Amino acid sequence: MPDTYASLHRRQLLAGSAGALVAAGLMSRSGVANAQAKALPEYAAWKHGDSLIVHSSTTIEPKRSAFGSSVITPAEQLYIRNNLPTPPATILADRDGWQVSIEGVRKPRTLTVGELKTLGLDSVATVLQCSGNGRGFFPHKPSGTPWTVGAAGCVVWSGVPLRAVVEALGGVADASLVYLTGTGGEKLPEGVDPKSVVVERSLPIKALGDALLAWEMNGAPLTLAHGGPLRLVVPGYQGVNNIKYVKRVAFTAKESDAKIMQHGYRMTPLGGKADPSQDSVLEMNVKSWINAPHPDTGPVKAGLLQVHGVAFSGTSPVTKVEVSVDGGKAWHAAGFVGPDLGRFAWRQFAVQLRIPPGKYTLVSRATDAAGQMQPEQRLENASGYGNNSWADHAVQLTVV
Amino acid sequence: MPDTYASLHRRQLLAGSAGALVAAGLMSRSGVANAQAKALPEYAAWKHGDSLIVHSSTTIEPKRSAFGSSVITPAEQLYIRNNLPTPPATILADRDGWQVSIEGVRKPRTLTVGELKTLGLDSVATVLQCSGNGRGFFPHKPSGTPWTVGAAGCVVWSGVPLRAVVEALGGVADASLVYLTGTGGEKLPEGVDPKSVVVERSLPIKALGDALLAWEMNGAPLTLAHGGPLRLVVPGYQGVNNIKYVKRVAFTAKESDAKIMQHGYRMTPLGGKADPSQDSVLEMNVKSWINAPHPDTGPVKAGLLQVHGVAFSGTSPVTKVEVSVDGGKAWHAAGFVGPDLGRFAWRQFAVQLRIPPGKYTLVSRATDAAGQMQPEQRLENASGYGNNSWADHAVQLTVV
């Protein structure tokens, strides 16, 4: 709900002691509880601490009740999920000097961000979502962060279209290069096989059509927390494919042989072991959830109720959202609200319902332009990826 | 330029001493100079100090070089211009309890924000611009803040459409009520005539069609700095008409008799005195300016150059932007980049030019769907309102 105190800016709260703020009604009791929870890591200290759940120094998500209804997720509330320790802030010292190697093109070379900026400019709004978002709903408790809905946001990126860079370098070298491979620039720990830790992902080359090398997010230079100075943004694809601190973009004949590609992020059957024959975590699937009303924001009074949430898919726009208050027996058509930021962004949906006192199970179900409908049940898999079950995303509500 | 260090988050900078940060290249010398400039007031301490120029505790604007290219202006960089001292933070203690009186409808009554939230939900992206933006370019040096381009931003508001509220209260009471009047809830200083200080503005009733009572901006609860808990947002109209801390919305037969309406914000001839017969500052006019390249971000190298900026109008979308590098002799068509957030939002424009070493005068000129073209010269007026002169917004550039 937009009116939760939890998302008041942390720095505003820092203007006084927690006790005084509770007295003034500016901090909720849960805010105080939070102050005793895990602190934000230094590289993300500028985030809205009170809107967030800090799982670890590299895994942070906003609370469901802190999602707003304005299409854009503020940087201060966007989730963080880093596979490796965050690089030192010194890599932002000379943003324009950051280098990325472009390989598998006719004229391969290393370009600086400063050079990239002369080659083109575009902005795209995308849903950025960790493929493990919704893992917390899997009953077999997969290892990994138990995200519920927070490991997703909708942000606007600015940078150069990757295809403009490829064109400037003579095009893709030959037709056998059917993968777009991106490599992260994190410093790798010593004494281990680099391939066992490097963040390197390969996508079907069709992803080139929409990919961006981005240096800005939501109107500000890309922060360290989100991959600055340069990130490979692949609209419609699960978060891990959007390579942070990108140092290499290559067109390759084979998928990367890095562990994160070969054995990580695979749709492995329950009880099985990950292997490269299984589907990789690539395009996102159709999904929606309700953000308000939510029990965290206090008792809900009987009468008119605005139910709202977000809906999105992979590379196809969502066209329909339905809402149910009885756990999926009867469905009500919801409307889209606010600006349409394009097929890679999420849409806010809302429906006005008149609800008498009682207990309710609120769920939403999205359909995209390709005809894909959000399913009732999750696709079971060992690591808990791709959960778009509408039943799992239910909100239990007591109306008084 | 997206890569300016100036817009690094202030809080990131606070992680170390200024000296250490300069050494690490994380703070520019101008950043240090800034640290010695006016500090942000407490209610706005969460803003990006290094991106901003603090004129006074109630007038703050981002530097031209800190504007990004992602359509949305982050809250941390949005300008502030308050006519009265900012209310105490305690007015946010119970956001849902904030009251607004709706008058001039068939069933007038006072509604809480909590009640408003049941009546409807919509989001709209608008340019919020102080009517004095560009005042700094007027040669007669009008009194008031000498804004250049910073007193404007593009943000997304969420709230209830005012027309849904009016419908719920039986509609506008009668056809003689042709003004939409909003009143700010700031505490007025004692010992002065309230009408001499209250922020109360009247707009033609057609503004009702798009107006919103907003409780959220850019996905987060509306901050005190920007009018929280509730603001009257009037898309397409100059900033002052978007009433902060709104406590009353009335349909009235006459314009407000408050000084700010009768004598403030009037297009008064040079050397004249403000009076109610002069045009009031209402809808915005067609305007654009270039944000990059900008001399603040260092020397510009000869070769390919991406020139980008923003363009908008009042209630009509912009349809064309042209760019000149010779002060308006020859014009080049620019393209729009990024998502179109609707007719009240600005568009980012960009054009790629190949430029040899030399001295250049970069200007841009926008045209809207109503056929209005941004003029070369400002409309002279005593208080320096509504400056949309393309010549005034030139960027002087040395290319090496």
pLDDT digits (tens, 9 = 90+) for A219-238: 999 999 999 999 999 999 99
Tokens 């390197």 appear where?
A200
Please indicate whether, in this complex, the C-beta atoms of A158 and B4 are within 8 angstroms of each other: no
Chain A residue nearest residue B216, CA to CA: A2
Query: CB–CB of B219 and A73 under 8 A?
Result: yes
Residue B38 has a pLDDT of: 87
Nearest chain A residue to B22, by CA: A93
What mean pLDDT comes out for the span A191-205? 97
Which of A72, A113, A121 is closest, CB to CB, to B72? Answer: A72
Residues of B in contact with A345 (CB under 8 A): 339
Contact assignment for A306 to B158 by CB distance below 8 Å: no
What average pLDDT score do residues A26-35 get? 37
Compare all CA atoms of chain A with the CA of B97 and give the residue at the minimum distance.
A3
pLDDT band at A105 (very low <50, low <70, confident <90, very high): very high
A-chain CB neighbours of B117 within 8 Å are: 3, 306
Phi, psi angles (nearest 5°) of residue B306: -95, 115
- Residue B393's pLDDT is 98
Contacts of B342 in chain A (CB under 8 A): 339
Q: Which of B70, B215, B345 sits opposite A219 (nearest CB)?
A: B70
Q: Is a pLDDT exceeding 50 seen at residue A26? A: no
Burial label, B237 (beta-carbon count in 10 A; 0-12, 13-18, 19+):
buried
CB contact under 8 A, B306 and A219: no
Question: B149 vs chain A: nearest CA distance in angstroms?
Answer: 16
Is residue B149 within 8 A of residue B289, CB to CB? The reply is yes
Percent of residues, chain A, with pLDDT higher than 70: 91
Residue of A nearest to B9 (CA): A46
Would the ipTM clear 0.95, i.e. be above it? no
> Does the beta-carbon distance from A89 to B12 stay under 8 Å?
yes
Contacts of A95 in chain B (CB under 8 A): 3, 5
Partners of residue A352 in chain B, C-beta under 8 Å: 118, 120
CB pair distance less than 8 Å for B24 and A89: yes
Q: What's residue A21's pLDDT?
A: 35
Does residue A2 register a pLDDT over 60? no
- Would the CB atoms of B93 and A156 count as touching at under 8 Å? no
- Kindly report the number of other CB atoms within 10 A of residue A131's CB atom: 27
Compare all CA atoms of chain B with the CA of A23 and give the residue at the minimum distance. Answer: B93
**Chain A contacts of B118, Cβ < 8 Å?**
303-306, 352
Radius of gyration of chain B (CA): 21
For chain A, the three-class secondary structure string (H helix, E strand, C coil) is CCCCHHHCCHHHHCCCCHHHHHHCCCCCHHHHHHHCCCCCCHHHCCCCHHHEEEEECCEEEECHHHCCCCCCCCHHHCCEECCCCCCCHHHHCCHHHCEEEEECECCCEEEEHHHHHHHCCEEEEEEEECCCCCHHHCCCCCCCCCCCCCCEEEEEEEEEEHHHHHHHCCCECCCCCCEEEEEECCCCCCCCCHHHCCCEEEEEHHHHHCCEEEEEECCEECCHHHCCCCEEECCCECHHHCCCCEEEEEEECCCCCCHHHHCCCECCCCCCCCCCCCCECCECCCEEEEEECCHHHCCECCEEEEEEEEEECCCCCEEEEEEECECCCCCEECEEECCCCCCCCCEEEEEEEEECCEEEEEEEEEEECCCCECCCCCCCCCCCCCCCCCCCCCEEEEEC
Mutate to test the interface with A, among B11, B27, B69, B116 (most CBs of A within 10 A): B69
| pLDDT-based confidence at residue A332 (cuts at 50, 70, 90) | very high
Which SS3 state, helix, strand or coil, does residue B31 take? helix
DSSP summary character for residue B75: G
- CA of residue B68 relative to chain centroid, distance: 15
Give the span between the Cα atoms of A233 and A246, in whole angstroms.
10
CB A201 within 8 A of CB A195: no
Q: What is the mean pLDDT of chain A?
A: 91
Dihedral (CA of B278, B280, B286, B291) sign: positive
User: Among residues B60, B86, B85, B90, which one has the least CA distance to residue B75?
Assistant: B60
**Using the 8-state DSSP alphabet, how is residue B140 labeled?**
T
Question: According to the model, what pLDDT value does residue B11 have?
Answer: 34
Q: Do A70 and B157 touch (CB under 8 A)?
A: yes
Query: Which of A31-45, A157-171, A254-268 is the least confident region?
Result: A31-45
Each residue's pLDDT tens digit in chain B (400 positions)? 232 323 333 333 333 333 333 333 333 333 333 444 789 999 999 999 889 999 999 999 999 999 999 999 999 999 999 999 999 999 999 999 999 999 999 999 999 999 999 999 999 999 999 999 999 999 999 999 999 999 999 999 999 999 999 999 999 999 999 999 999 999 999 999 999 999 999 999 999 999 999 999 999 999 999 999 999 999 999 999 999 999 999 999 999 999 999 999 999 999 999 999 999 999 999 999 999 998 888 789 999 999 999 999 999 999 999 999 999 999 999 999 999 999 999 999 999 999 999 999 999 999 999 999 999 999 999 999 999 999 999 999 999 9
- What per-residue confidence (pLDDT) applies to A295? 86
Residue B305 CB-half CA count within 13 A: 27
Residue B113: list chain A partners with CB under 8 A. 3
pLDDT tens by residue, A235-258: 999 999 999 999 999 999 999 999
pLDDT confidence tier of residue A121, bands split at 50, 70 and 90: very high
Find tokens 């941004």 and name the residue: B374
What is the least distance, in Å, from the CA of B287 to any CA of chain A? Answer: 20
From B267's Cα to the closest Cα of chain A, the distance in A is: 33
Residues 6+ apart with CB under 8 A from B131: B238, B239, B240, B265, B281, B385, B386
Question: Which residue of chain A comes nearest to B124, CA vs CA?
Answer: A338
Asked if pLDDT for residue A33 goes beyond 80, the answer is no
Contact assessment for residue B60 and residue B48, using Cβ atoms and an 8 Å cutoff: no
Instruction: Kindly report the nearest CA distance between residue B179 and chain A, in angstroms.
Output: 26
Q: For residue A24, is pLDDT > 50?
A: no
Out of B76, B156, B337, whose CB is closest to A338? B156
Nearest residue of A to residue B337 by CA position? A122
Count Cβ–Cβ pairs < 8 Å, chain A vs chain B.
223
Q: What's the pLDDT at B315?
A: 93
Which residues, 6+ apart, have CB-to-CB distance to B250 below 8 Å? B101, B102, B103, B104, B180, B181, B182, B183
The pLDDT tens digits of the residues spanning A280-320 come to 999 999 999 999 999 888 789 999 999 999 999 999 999 99
Whose structure tokens read 């095009």?
A171
pLDDT mean over A182-208: 96
| Closest-CA distance of chain A to residue B143, Å | 31
Q: How far is B53 from chain A (nearest CA, A)?
A: 16
Give the three-state DSSP class for B356: coil
